[in-house]
Amino acid sequence: MKSSRSRSRSKSNRNRSQGNQGGNVVNRVFDSSGPEGKVRGTPQQIIEKYNQLARDAQLSNDRVAAENFQQHAEHYTRMLAEAQREIEARREEQERQNRERQAERDRERAERQERDSSQQAAADHAAHPQPSADMREGESNLVETPESQPKPKPKRAPRRKPRPKPEASNDDQPGGDDAPKAAE
């Protein structure tokens, strides 16, 4: 029972990791089973490790082991290069989509501005109609009505300057000479 459960788990994990393989290969940690045992790390770390092992094998005059390590390094180099190409292609596609969206927004903005300016021009034309070219100056085909006459502006009352307040003197104070006597 336990083995079937672990088998199904590993199967789901395998499917999940295969689906994610192209997405994050650059930073993904791999376990590589090479001739000297397992090498663990990101593709860049594994490449560096296999290149170091290949140099060590060359220094010890083991050409077969050196070639084997170089082939392992080349495998991870190709895998890393493919992942980087995919990332670059996705980035370029995203930039292209962003440029298209920006161009569409710019077109919409220009259309909206043109529509607003034409509406403003139509409103200005309606408010201040220009005489047609076939009409002579001062001539009109319209009948004069009281509504078409310009309304006279209401006249405003002239502004008055405020009176200056009289300065307070002893005569104005209560109990002064001009004050009415309370109980005479």
pLDDT tens track for 86-103: 999 999 999 999 999 999
Query: Domain count of the chain?
Result: 1
- Orientation angle between helical segments 43-59 and 63-127, nearest 10 degrees: 150
CA atoms within 13 A on the CB side of 83: 18
Give the residue numbers spanning the domain of 56. 25-119
23's tokens = 């997405």
pLDDT at 31: 84
Judge whether 73 lies within some domain: yes
Judge whether 135 lies within some domain: no
pLDDT at 15: 46
pLDDT at 136: 56
pLDDT at 79: 92
144's tokens = 């004069």
In sequence order, which residues have a C-beta less than 8 Å from that of residue 63 and are 6 or more positions away? Answer: 57
| Other CB atoms within 10 A of residue 68 CB | 18
pLDDT at 149: 72
Judge whether 180 lies within some domain: no
Residue type present at position 110: A
pLDDT at 16: 47
Judge whether 7 lies within some domain: no
183's tokens = 């109980």
The sign of the dihedral angle between the CA atoms of 31, 32, 38, 42 is negative
| Other CB atoms within 10 A of residue 39 CB | 21
Judge whether 35 lies within some domain: yes
Rg of the chain on CA atoms, in Å:
47
Tell me which DSSP letter residue 130 carries. P
Judge whether 38 lies within some domain: yes
Judge whether 83 lies within some domain: yes
- Residues in the chain predicted with pLDDT less than 50, given as ranges, are 1-5, 15-22, 184
Judge whether 71 lies within some domain: yes
Q: Phi, psi at residue 94, to the nearest 5°? A: -65, -45
The sign of the dihedral angle between the CA atoms of 14, 16, 18, 21 is negative
